[in-house]
């Protein structure tokens, strides 16, 4: 079982001030099930993992990664929730663009990244 997943679920749940029972209710699961995920003793099924990512506004990759498990408060996954939600919103908007518009967005992102690295 992934202890990183459990730690990330817990951090994101706490960032939204949800109890295990409240999170379970949003997912139609028992609070004890959420507890087992957080302890790394159980693993959510694929559909529930997707629901968790949508609820928290993060990718499933983010939920499964251990990049935030041992980080300090500033780098805690819960503190990235707003950023991840914004990225998710941008991603949804990108699906409505035609190829020419996507190229322009890509060029803009590259330009911004290049300027930041100078």
Closest CA to 80 of 18, 6, 15: 15
Measure the CA–CA gap between 82 and 63, rounded to whole angstroms.
15
Please give the pLDDT value at position 92: 72
- Confidence (pLDDT) at 79: 53
User: 53-104, pLDDT tens digit by residue?
Assistant: 888 888 888 888 865 433 334 445 555 566 666 776 777 777 777 888 888 8
Q: What is the pLDDT of residue 44?
A: 93
Number of domains observed in the structure of the chain: 1
pTM for the model: 0.57
- Structure confidence by residue, pLDDT tens digits, 10-52: 988 888 889 999 999 999 999 999 999 999 899 999 999 999 9
Residue 27 has what pLDDT?
Answer: 94
How far apart are the C-alpha atoms of 67 and 7, rounded to whole Å?
11
Of the candidates 38, 40, 58, 41, the one whose C-alpha atom is nearest the C-alpha of residue 50 is 58
The CATH number of residue 66's host domain is 1.10.260.40
Q: What secondary structure letter does DSSP report for 72?
A: -
**Crossing angle of helices 3-15 and 31-39, rounded to 10°:** 130
Give residue 42's domain range: 3-116
């Amino acid at each position: 079982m992934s202890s990183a997943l459990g730690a990330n679920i817990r951090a994101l749940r706490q960032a939204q001030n949800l109890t295990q029972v409240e999170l379970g209710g949003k997912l139609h699961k028992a609070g004890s099930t959420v507890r087992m995920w957080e302890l790394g003793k159980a693993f959510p099924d694929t559909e529930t993992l997707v629901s968790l990512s949508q609820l928290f506004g993060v990718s499933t990759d983010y939920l499964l990664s251990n990049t935030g498990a041992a980080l300090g408060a500033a780098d805690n996954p819960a503190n990235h929730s707003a950023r991840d939600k914004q990225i998710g919103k941008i991603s949804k908007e990108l699906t409505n663009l035609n190829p020419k518009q996507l190229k322009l967005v890509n060029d803009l992102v590259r330009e911004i990244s290049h300027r930041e690295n100078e």
